Structure 1
Amino acid sequence: MTRTATWHGKVIAESDRTQEVDGYVYFPRDSVRMDLLATAPKTADDLKCPHGVQFYDVAEEGAVSRRAAWSYEAPQPRMKPVDHWIGFWEDVQVK
């Protein structure tokens, strides 16, 4: 099944290889428009995450959804299947 992540009507990820973990859909990095993601500064809570979380702002043409995407850069075994994959929430619609 192909899943799509859209933001303000624009497709930012699409893949038939998504994985769902804990109710969130993760997209392989090569299926994500990384040009629309900007690395967000890490918070103290981010630094405590055992999976090495990195959040991203989704941004284009003056519109920004802060921390609306994330990736686990050093996942523990339970999250290893989505190592460096991208998850979305907030303003990003996943169908």
Structure 2
Amino acid sequence: MVKVTLNGTVLAESDNTKIVEGNYYFPPDAVNTAALSPSNTHTTCPWKGVASYYDATIGGKTVVNDVAWYYPETKEKANDIKGYVAFYKNKVNFEE
């Protein structure tokens, strides 16, 4: 089980994460979307595609910008993480 928390709030928790390039990707149903809000940030990975980002929003306030990212659409080699959410290790707490 891998669990991600921030300020005592669980952001994600799952036994079914996928590790890509050293990052845990959580299935969409394991992510607490009530604590996340869409960010305007987008980046491009040459083999995964265009990533979208989330801000951590707890108690109606944004507490961490661009805390997580996901690929709403992926290139073929990354299809197994389409829609999965990864968190920056230096912005949240991980429990493995």
Bin of the TM-score, shorter chain as denominator length:
0.7 to 0.9
**Residue 79 of structure 1: SS of its match in structure 2?**
helix
User: Higher strand fraction: Structure 1 or Structure 2?
Assistant: 2
Q: For residue 63 of structure 1, report the CA deviation from its aligned partner.
A: 4.8
Q: Could you state the TM-score of these two structures normalised by the residue count of structure 1?
A: 0.85
Note the aligned Cα RMSD (angstroms).
1.6
Structure 1 unpaired stretches of 5+: none
Q: Contact 2:36–2:54 at 8 Å: present in 1 too?
A: yes
Q: For residue 49 of structure 1, report the CA deviation from its aligned partner.
A: 4.3
Deviations 1:45-89 (A, max 9, x none): x2x445121000011123511001110112112321110010001
What is the percent sequence identity of the aligned residues? 29
Q: For residue 11 of structure 1, report the CA deviation from its aligned partner.
A: 1.3
Which residue type is aligned with residue 55 of structure 2? D
| Equivalent residue number for residue 35 of structure 1 | 34
Q: Which runs of 4+ in 1 moved over 6 A?
A: none
**Residue 35 of structure 1: SS of its match in structure 2?**
helix
**Residue 70 of structure 2: SS of its match in structure 1?**
strand
| Equivalent residue number for residue 13 of structure 1 | 12
| Equivalent residue number for residue 94 of structure 1 | 94
| Equivalent residue number for residue 58 of structure 2 | 60
Q: Could you state the TM-score of these two structures normalised by the residue count of structure 2?
A: 0.84
User: Higher helix fraction: Structure 1 or Structure 2?
Assistant: 1
Counterparts of 1:39 and 1:12 in 2: how far apart (Å)? Answer: 14
